[in-house]
Amino acid sequence: MGNVAGGKGQGVRYLDDIDATLSVNLNTLAGLRNTKAFFYGLGNQGGSISSLAGDVQGLDNIEAENSWRLYEAWIEHIFPRLKTSVLAGKYDLNSEFDVNPTAQLFINSSQGIGAAYGNSGVMGPSIFPYTSLAVRVKTQVENGLYFKAAVFDGVPSDPGNSRGTKIFFHKKDGALIATELSYTPGPKQAKNGFKYQFLGRGVEPVNGYRLTLGGWLYTQPRMGWVKSHQRGRGLYASVDAKLYHKPQTAEQGLAGYVRLGIANGKINRFTGYTGAGLVYTGLFKGHNQLGVATAISWSSSDYKTIARRQNLLPAQNESDIEGTYLFAISPEFQLQFDAQYIIHPNTLHSISNSFVVGGRMILSI
């Protein structure tokens, strides 16, 4: 990725992300029906493109400190009669909470999880690159209607030394409680059976449209920007929809989404988030996607008060406009080209708007 104009300085940075996953069917291995174990190793190397662009939302979603870590390690059991699954272990909140499937094409971090949520807590919630231990329950209320809730260790990793795999339990960390209700028109239920294929870890596909409403709460109060101790909390909502598809195919066509988020501005830097995007699949021959998206993080009034006391010039928001194009040379090899324009990087008037371009190679074995 290269910052070609504005920001804190021009230059090019190399980044990589190496993922190794192992999924174990415990019915086959140990005779435990409807039970699965999952292990996920993660390695990140390279420099920081955000240090050049000056942005705060994270314009490259694989940027992290250079380290190898055990990212996820959990076990999950599905209870078919209860239409419920339970998962326990080291777990990525953003694999199921505050996810827009259409937005997964984009590279900016706020398209993965809204900035109001992703920048909450001491080190953020349990998301890339730091995850914590959790227990998650997911249930199908009605056909297509899902409810899930999870309790996480409130501070993933170790703020003093976050390299490698860190698992700590400190009373002062408290817990993060996450909930979400989502609906997408589900497949018709069999007359004599219950379909639970979407109860496992992951996000159900968008069948026409998908509506989401969620919230979070940190149980341990922290010092607010200008007032006494505050608890981090917030809400988010989104809609993800298939807007048009070519005749005879459901895969090719236009999809779009809108995501909104609010948070306690007394303790959070961002009191709100607005994001939206459009993705066209199959514009040209072969598997390809063309997308444009925007991500706007809104500064809290208390944070701006502190910034002014430090003789800074805070802006109302940081806005990112992203255009990207991905095409698959083969099922195992993809190339993606990306351009982003950041307005008010780091929510400061003193940093000029930056323009970043780059490319990504994705290899699957």
Spell out the domain ranges in the chain.
2-8+17-363
Tracing tokens 């300085």 back to the chain, one arrives at 9
Report the DSSP beta bridge partners of residue 182: 146, 212
Question: Measured between alpha carbons, how far is 154 from 132 in angstroms, rounded to an integer?
Answer: 8
Average pLDDT, the chain: 93
Cβ(37)–Cβ(75) below 8 Å: yes
Token output for 89 = 């272990």
Q: What letter represents residue 180's amino acid?
A: E
Cβ(293)–Cβ(111) below 8 Å: yes
Question: Measured between alpha carbons, how far is 189 from 358 in angstroms, rounded to an integer?
Answer: 45
Tell me if the bond preceding 187 is cis, omega within 30° of 0. Answer: no
- Most confident of the ranges 31-35, 111-115, 202-206: 111-115
pLDDT digits (tens, 9 = 90+) for 122-158: 999 999 999 999 999 999 999 899 999 999 999 999 8
Give the model's confidence band at 29: pLDDT under 50 very low, under 70 low, under 90 confident, else very high.
confident
pLDDT of residue 190: 43
Question: Span 63-89, mean pLDDT?
Answer: 96
pLDDT of residue 15: 98
pLDDT digits (tens, 9 = 90+) for 261-289: 999 999 999 999 999 999 999 988 878 99
Give the model's confidence band at 168: pLDDT under 50 very low, under 70 low, under 90 confident, else very high.
confident
In the predicted model, is pLDDT for residue 308 greater than 60? yes
3-state DSSP helix/strand/coil % of the chain, to nearest 5: 10, 50, 40
Q: Considering the chain, what percentage of its residues have pLDDT values greater than 90?
A: 82
Question: Span 167-180, mean pLDDT?
Answer: 90
Give the model's confidence band at 187: pLDDT under 50 very low, under 70 low, under 90 confident, else very high.
low
In the predicted model, is pLDDT for residue 46 greater than 70? yes
The better pLDDT of the pair 327, 160 is held by: 327
pLDDT of residue 192: 42
Give the rounded distance of the alpha carbon of 15 from its chain centre: 19
In the predicted model, is pLDDT for residue 194 greater than 60? no
Report the DSSP beta bridge partners of residue 365: none
Give the model's confidence band at 183: pLDDT under 50 very low, under 70 low, under 90 confident, else very high.
very high
Report the DSSP beta bridge partners of residue 22: 39
Q: Considering the chain, what percentage of its residues have pLDDT values greater than 70?
A: 97
Token output for 298 = 């809104």
Token output for 234 = 């917030």
In the predicted model, is pLDDT for residue 355 greater than 50? yes
pLDDT digits (tens, 9 = 90+) for 49-62: 999 999 999 999 99
Give the model's confidence band at 249: pLDDT under 50 very low, under 70 low, under 90 confident, else very high.
confident
Token output for 325 = 């194009």
Q: State the fold for domain 2-8+17-363.
A: Porin (2.40.160)
In the predicted model, is pLDDT for residue 71 greater than 80? yes
The conformational region for residue 82 under phi > 0 = left, psi -120 to 50 = alpha, else beta, is alpha
Q: Which helix (H) or strand (E) holds 301?
A: helix 301-309
